[in-house]
Structure 1
Amino acid sequence: MKNLFPVLAIIMLMTPFAYAADPSDDSLILYFSFDEIDGDTVTDHSQYGNDGTITGAPELATGKFGNALKLNGESDWVVVPHADILTVDTDVTVMAWINAGRHMGPNEQRWQGILSKGNSPRSYSFYTESPSECLHLSAGGSGSVCTGKIALNEWQHVAAHVEDGTHRYWLNGENVGEFGDKNALPGAADTADVLVGKTHEGNREFLGLLDEVRIWNRALNEEEIQAEMNSAATPVEPLGKLSTTWATLKSKR
């Protein structure tokens, strides 16, 4: 076993580092893979270190790639403290893999939150909703609803952006809506925390699995969104992330 360890270590170091998003991208301001969680701290893989704190007792589950966070739809979410870099002035892109157990929030609320920042003023709230069974984006005080329906209990890639007052949506890489003449984003006036798995309006907690949550402070175009969705299709096997693999190797010494 001792002779095997150096060989495995060399293989590990030669294996590509399989983050789907490029952490060196200055515009990527938050990236949760949920593969690196220490206690109640969720590691942010962007260059800005916007680590989140878990509220409640969500479970780790098998994700679309690596691990996912399994939320109970009532008392589980992640809080990311406000930082200046999380401010969005004119454009923003929000993205995640979701496996939703319902479209509405608890207590028959119309919406359930994937992620959000602020309420009054509001930079963005990204939801699934009922009865449309679609995605809903509210930003700067104006909202829109996409035209593609979210399937329940299976993995779906969801993305939306705001670009110069226009909302656009993508479901599994396909454009499912464009809506113009929307309000401007509040920029620095919004000092609220970022919430993952909930919105600031209350009683809109997410039921299901979340994976690969990412936010950019620019509007990614369709090709970029499709590339981000597909770039995680070949994660490092078997456990996906360098730190996990390293810990596993060390445990076998």
Structure 2
Amino acid sequence: MKRNLRSLASVCKLPTYLVCLFLIAVLWLHTAEYASTEPLDPDLVLYFDYEEFKGDTVIEKSGRGYDGAINGKVTQSDDGKFGKAAEFASTSFLDLDGPNIADDDIPTEGMSIVAWINVKNVTDMAIFNARAGDGTWLVHPEARGDGNYRWLNRGPNPNRTIFDIRGGNNKAKEWIHYAGTYSRADALAVLYINGKNVGEEPARLDTPIAGDWDQGARVGYNIDNNRPFAGLMDDLNVWKRGLTEEEVNAIMNDGVEAFLAVEAQGKLATTWGKLKASK
């Protein structure tokens, strides 16, 4: 970085817009140097692409370091939707050490949970689960035994349900794309299956989602050891905002990293347009 700052002196006589472009390039290089320690996106809380297993740990790729500790039998499979996947034996799960998730990373004003799933049979299965210290079951993204899918958020106790959507057609032994989204600002929750809106509900209450995961957070098994996930899971991503339908479909079709790359490219193009307009 010091080398880059010294180089700035040699371009100080260039036109203003060229200096600005140079500064953007310096910032880009500086960001790349430290990318490994920075979150991929300010709203992306968890991202498991299941490409990297280390011993009894699955490496989490959001840049926040919330790796999953394997409990039971969670193995890497070559049959993923994008490269590798995780295969969950029934009653096995990833423990995310919920009490140690940073307060700023807990979704309260919005939430989206997105994943590719390939379940072994049609029964109640939790994709992800977290429970607050006051006992609130704050989120339920599920494949259901009654033949549909579920998406739910709750505010702080006493169990203030913000929405509870059930829709779609639960199918076993095939890849299904699940996406539940909620925005408090828009007061709307939507459940997408394979990129299609299969159910939506206006918020019943104007309350934040319960604001801690102090009783735990897991992938693949409820905190009370119910609704075990059995089958394959790929590209699980959890956000602290409500994704749009366009964003859900972009992630479904291209994956999280490609989606974020396009998003970054769009932001850079906007910045470039503003610079050109200011010439």
| TM-score category of the 2 structures, normalised to the smaller one | 0.7 to 0.9
Q: Provide closer, same or farther for how the CA distance between residues 130 and 182 of structure 1 changes in structure 2, counting only shifts above 3 A.
A: farther
Q: Provide closer, same or farther for how the CA distance between residues 234 and 41 of structure 1 changes in structure 2, counting only shifts above 3 A.
A: closer
Query: Structure 2: which 5+ residue stretches go unaligned?
Result: 1-37, 259-279
Query: Could you report, residue by residue, the CA deviation over 1:147-172 in whole angstroms, capped at 9, with x for unpaired residues?
Result: 21122100011000122243210111
Which residue in the other structure is 1:139 paired with?
153
Given candidates 77, 81, 95, the residue that maps to 1:79 is 95
The alpha-carbon deviation at position 99 of structure 1 amounts to 0.1
Task: Give the residue type in structure 2 aligned to 1:96.
Answer: A
The alpha-carbon deviation at position 234 of structure 1 amounts to 11
Which residue in the other structure is 2:32 paired with?
none
Which residue in the other structure is 2:49 paired with?
33
Which residue in the other structure is 1:124 paired with?
139
Given candidates 40, 59, 74, the residue that maps to 1:58 is 74
Task: Give the residue type in structure 1 aligned to 2:228.
Answer: E
Which residue in the other structure is 1:160 paired with?
180
Query: Structure 1: which 5+ residue stretches go unaligned?
Result: 1-21, 105-110, 236-253
Q: 1:98-247 counterparts in 2 under 5 A? A: 98-104=117-123, 111-118=124-131, 120-131=135-146, 133-140=147-154, 141=159, 142=161, 143-164=163-184, 165-183=187-205, 184-232=207-255
Give distance in 1, aligned partners of 2:131 and 2:246.
29
The alpha-carbon deviation at position 189 of structure 1 amounts to 4.3
Task: Give the residue type in structure 2 aligned to 1:179.
Answer: E
Question: TM-score, length-normalised on structure 2?
Answer: 0.68
Give distance in 1, aligned partners of 2:64 and 2:240.
13
Checking the alignment, whether the CA contact within 8 Å between 1:122 and 1:186 is kept in structure 2 is no
The alpha-carbon deviation at position 204 of structure 1 amounts to 1.1
**Which structure would you say has the larger RCO, counting Cα contacts within 8 Å and 6 or more residues apart?**
1
Range 116-125 or range 164-173, more displaced: 116-125
Q: Provide closer, same or farther for how the CA distance between residues 185 and 200 of structure 1 changes in structure 2, counting only shifts above 3 A.
A: farther
Task: Give the residue type in structure 1 aligned to 2:202.
Answer: G
Structure with the bigger percentage of helix: 2
Task: Give the residue type in structure 1 aligned to 2:83.
Answer: G
Checking the alignment, whether the CA contact within 8 Å between 1:97 and 1:210 is kept in structure 2 is yes
Root mean square deviation, CA, Å: 2.2
Residue correspondences, number: 206
The alpha-carbon deviation at position 174 of structure 1 amounts to 0.8
Checking the alignment, whether the CA contact within 8 Å between 1:26 and 1:47 is kept in structure 2 is no
Task: Give the residue type in structure 1 aligned to 2:116.
Answer: W
Checking the alignment, whether the CA contact within 8 Å between 1:134 and 1:145 is kept in structure 2 is no
**SS of 2:114's equivalent?**
strand
Task: Give the residue type in structure 1 aligned to 2:88.
Answer: L
Task: Give the residue type in structure 2 aligned to 1:121.
Answer: T
Q: Provide closer, same or farther for how the CA distance between residues 187 and 37 of structure 1 changes in structure 2, counting only shifts above 3 A.
A: same
Which structure has the bigger radius of gyration? 2
